[in-house]
Each structure stands twice: as C-alpha cells, then as structure tokens.
Structure 1
Amino acid sequence: MESLTVVETLQPAVRAIFWVGALITASLALWLLYMVITGFRIWVLGNGDLISPKLGKWAVVTGATDGIGKSYAEELARRGFSMMLISRSQEKLDDVAKSLESTYKVDTKTIAVDYSQADIYPKIEKGLAGLERILVNNVGISYTYPEFFLHIPDLENFITTMINVNITSVCQMTRLVLPRMEARAKGVILNISSASGMFPLPLLTIYSSTKAFVDYFSRGLNAEYKSKGIIIQSVLPFFVATKMTRIRKPTLDKPTPERYVAAELNTVGLQDQTNGYFPHAVMGWVIAILAPIQLVICLGLRLNKSQRGGYLRRRKLR
C-alpha cells in the first residue's frame, strides 16, 4: 500500500521528465532536419546562376595573379565576366589577362599597384571608372614563418605593410566600388578573410588579427547594405594548396584553389559568412561549436612553435 502511494506520488514527476525528454528529442530532430536541408541547399543545389553577367559585365579581382585570386579571375571569366585584374606585377598581370582572353574570349583590363603603399587609390579609382559589378578583395600577405611578435624581422615595417595590404586595401577598395553599386541597387563584394580570423592564432598574431577585422568589417557592412540589394560576404578558407600556404599536394581538406573557388561562389547569397567549401565548413563548425577556444589557442601555439623551430633549423643548415 505504501509502495503504491510512492508510485502515485512520483507519477507527475515521471510525466514531466518524459515530456521534457520528448521536447528535447523533438527539438534536436527538428534542428538536425533544418541543418540537413540547409546544407543540401548550400552545398548541393547552390545559388544557381546568381553569379553571372546578369549582375553586370565587369568583375574586379585584387591579388589576381596567383593562388585563390587567379582562380577567382579564371572562374568568373569562365562564367562570362570581363575582368579587371589588379596586382603588383604588370608582367604577371599581362600573362593572366592574355590567358583569360584566349581561353574564355572575354575583355580584360589591368592595374599594376603595390597594396603595401597608401598612395595607390587615386590610380585605382581612375582605372575602375564604370567597371565594377563584382569585387573580390583577395589581396593579402602572411608571415614568412610563424614568429613571436617582438622577434619578427623589421617589425615596424612589417606591421605597416600587413595593415596596408590586409586591412586598408579592403576598406579602400570597398569605398571605391560601393557608391556605384548602391546607386544601381545591385552588386557583390567578396572579402577573402581566413579561418585563422575565427580565433586568435599565436605566432601568426598580426595576420590572424587582420583577418578577423576583415570578417567583422564584412558582416557589419553586409547588415548595412543587404536591404539595398548589395551582397557583402565574408569568406574564411582553411588551408588551400597555394604558394602562400606552401602546400603542394591537394587533399580533400586542402583543395586546389580552382576547386575551392568553384565551391565558394555557389554560397554567395546563401551565406553571409562562409568557409566556402564543404570540408572547411565542417571544420569550422567543429571549432566554433565543439572545441573550447582555449584548446584551439593552445593547439595553434604548439603547431606554430613546431613550424617555427623547423624553419629556423632549416635556415641554419643553408
């Protein structure tokens, strides 16, 4: 009799636990379904023909002669855009321009400038007049090797150069193209940040911080101008097999720049902030959701210390 009374007493609590469990299970199921549908929409269906000459004839790419920048120029030309190519070497610009013209039968223009200098923007503004519909802010530099802040060679000039190339260029190029985009209520700006801007990265601290700026700048500006028909996307790739990363052999998680860019362009208009490539998106999700930030910083410090030691040992052997 007494045990029956205990059971009756516990029944409301059991029911409550059951319904809480059922609610949590249903919520998780709905969240998982939403993630699957969203992932299918982004990584399988893509954005269709959003990035096409329907936006306008011309696309502008900075840092257009190597790596990801060159691949953006090639992919956009393949899609029918005429290309304005901006980089430091006129010789390399001419080579890329000739290749695009012969392969894709598009018009090209070039501007040779050094983004480490602050006085280049009047020249760029004159060259851009009337051309911009898509801007890819890709130009950027990183460290020669991971290093402690005070041990960076020629630190004062290094700081100025890094800020001019990685931060000032993004702000100034956006300043030049945004008024015409706003006037036409149409345009796309892709700002190439880096996954290292998602968290502090010791021994690459200045680079990581400049890329975090690009991410925050892009997302804030997108909120300002999205309602005006302008897409401003923050792109945060992990490792891509380029000269800058010194990765020679592509793998599933370290794709060729061509493969990365083709995947990334299909996310435009679907994601305001993107890792651009499905394996990178999985890696970004794991780091952002599951990995404690202190663990990420600790692992980054350990990895970069190891790379620093290897680089310095190789220098001594030369």
Structure 2
Amino acid sequence: MDLMEIFFISLGAVVVLYHVVKLVLFSRILFPKLWFPLSKSFFTSMGEWAVVTGASEGIGRAYAFALAERGMNVVIMSRTRERLDLVAKEIGEATDQTVKVITTDFINENVFSEIEDQLKDLDIGILVNNVGVLPGVVFEQTQESRGSCITLQFVLLSFPFFQMCKIILPGMEKRGKGLIVNISSGIATVPFPYYSLYAASKIFVERVSQGLQAEYKDKGIIIQAVAPFGVSTRMVSYQKTNIVTLSAENFVKSSLQYIRAGDRTNGSICHSILVRPTSARITRKKRVSIAID
C-alpha cells in the first residue's frame, strides 16, 4: 500500500468519524430523556419555591404551571395584579400548591429592594427570568419617542434578569443547589432587522448566563439560557401553532427536558433544527420571516 492510498484511507476515516460524532451529538437533541434524564424529585430537590417573572401569561405562566405540577410552590411576578391573581387561582386549584403573588413593574429600578424583602424568607430553588417586551416593527419617528422606546426596551430586556439573579444566587450558593432559567430568543443567533435592540439584549442574556454558569457550576447551581424561536403568545399576536410555532405549554414542557443539556438550549427539537437554516437564510436574504418570541 503506497502513501497515497494510506492518505485517502485516513482521510475517509476522519470524515466518517466526524459524521458519526455529529450524528451522536444530534441524537442528544432528538432524545433528551435518554441523554439528560431527570428524576421525579429533581425540581423539588432544588428547593421549596420557584420564582417566575413575567408570569401573568404566555411562557412565564406556562413555566409557573409546569413547576407547580412538579410539586413546587411558586412566586409569580408581573405588573398586572388582576392577571396574576387569576393565574394564582388557576394554579392553586389545579395543583394544590401555594402561590405567592408579587405585583411589580420592572421598568422601575427601585423595585428590587422590595422584591428582595418579599423573597428573603423563602427557600428558593428555581428562578425563571422571563419578563420582556417585543418592540413594534417600526419605531416611532420622533427622536424623543425613539429614545424613550429604546430606554424602555433596555430596562425591561436586560436589567431585571441580572438583578433577579443577583437577589437569588446568594441563597442558592449557600445551600449548594439551584436552577436558573433565563429566557433568550432564537433571533439572538442572527442579525435581525427592525428588532436589533431586542436581538442584542438576548445576546446579552445568553452571554451573562454562560458566564454565570462557568462561575457557579462547581457550586451545584445550573444556569441555562433558553432561546426559543416561534411560540404562540400575545407578544406575537397568538400566531397559529404548527410544527415550528409551539404553544407556550408545549414549549415549556419540551424545554424542561433539556435542563441538563448545557448552558444554552433552544428548548425543543424543531427550534434546534431551525438554527442553522435560519442563519444561512438571513445571510442570503438579509431578513427572516419566521415567528419569534
């Protein structure tokens, strides 16, 4: 066998090995229960309480319900008392778990000391940072209104999640366990015209989450950024559900299976598959027409 044959055989072996590894990695997305099994007591083992921000509807409401169904008492937070009370009643009747309501407007940076006071005596094992806002496709044209819009988005999209981590992480570190889920978005993967600030803020969420996970992983704390694409919520005018656009309940049910899948996940099989095609399409066409959340 000459050197050329050895070279091509070796090259072929490397290519086959590469694709085998890719297939194995892809199977982790397809079979999360096999690769990332969770015990029935996994969530309750983290602590007695779960805190969910932006919980009056949509993804936040679905997380609050899902965690209560798994045996946790929940603190639900949003700025609309009437909606929160309704959600609290629904969760209590469906699960018999205790629900604590905190009405707060995250645009006011002074609210966090009050939030900390209301949470300080609770054994908080899980935090879901979901609060956010999606800007209109076209900003107002006046400079004054544009500036106000940008300030509002920055405060709602970036500041609350970091402050909530700051409030709750010390208790988790003291107990040596905890889970923090920070909701990002699939559009953080690509440049996204007309939603530039929203996409950039979600990149911020992901990078901070990944940094915090590196810092706290050895302390028994799981910190994960979850980046969905299409989820049917009020934020996207309740688009019709399909294979790509999931209901909030189905998305959350899926995403909880990937808790041990690393510091970033898209939360579902279909959204994970979307990542590469979407990146290629935005490069070619400079725009994306899929639903976002």
2:135 aligned partner: 143
**3-state SS of paired residue (1:269):** coil
Counterpart among 286, 295, 306 of residue 284 in structure 2: 295
Identical-pair percentage: 33
Report the residue type matching 2:266 in the other structure: N
2:32 aligned partner: 42
1:102 aligned partner: 93
TM-score, normalisation: structure 2: 0.91
1:5 aligned partner: none
Q: Measured at CA, do residues 102 and 148 of structure 1 come closer, stay the same or move farther in structure 2, by a change above 3 Å?
A: closer
**3-state SS of paired residue (1:52):** helix
Give the drift of 1:149. 8.6
Q: What number of residue pairs does the alignment pair up?
A: 289
Give yes or no for the alignment of 1:173 onto 2:164.
yes
Counterpart among 16, 19, 37 of residue 10 in structure 2: 19
In 2, distance between residues paired with 1:244 and 1:44? 33
Report the residue type matching 1:181 in the other structure: M
Give the drift of 1:116. 1.4
In 2, distance between residues paired with 1:17 and 1:148? 57
Q: Measured at CA, do residues 95 and 184 of structure 1 come closer, stay the same or move farther in structure 2, by a change above 3 Å?
A: same
Gaps in structure 2 of 5+ consecutive residues: none
Give the drift of 1:18. 2.8
Aligned Cα RMSD in Å?
Answer: 2.3
Counterpart among 53, 74, 79 of residue 70 in structure 2: 79
Give the drift of 1:173. 0.5
Give yes or no for the alignment of 1:245 onto 2:228.
no
Give the drift of 1:237. 0.3
- Listed one character per residue, the Cα deviations across residues 182-214 of structure 1 (whole Å, up to 9, x for unaligned) are 111101110001111122211111111111110
Counterpart among 155, 160, 171 of residue 151 in structure 2: 160
Report the residue type matching 1:295 in the other structure: R
Give the drift of 1:27. 3.1
Larger Rg: 1
Give the drift of 1:123. 1.3
In 2, distance between residues paired with 1:273 and 1:151? 37
Partners of 2:54 and 2:77 within 8 A in 1: yes
1:209 aligned partner: 200
In 1, distance between residues paired with 2:182 and 2:91? 22
1:3 aligned partner: none
Give yes or no for the alignment of 1:118 onto 2:109.
yes
Give the drift of 1:35. 3.1
Give the drift of 1:221. 0.8
- Listed one character per residue, the Cα deviations across residues 214-241 of structure 1 (whole Å, up to 9, x for unaligned) are 0111111111111110111001000101
TM-score, normalisation: structure 1: 0.84
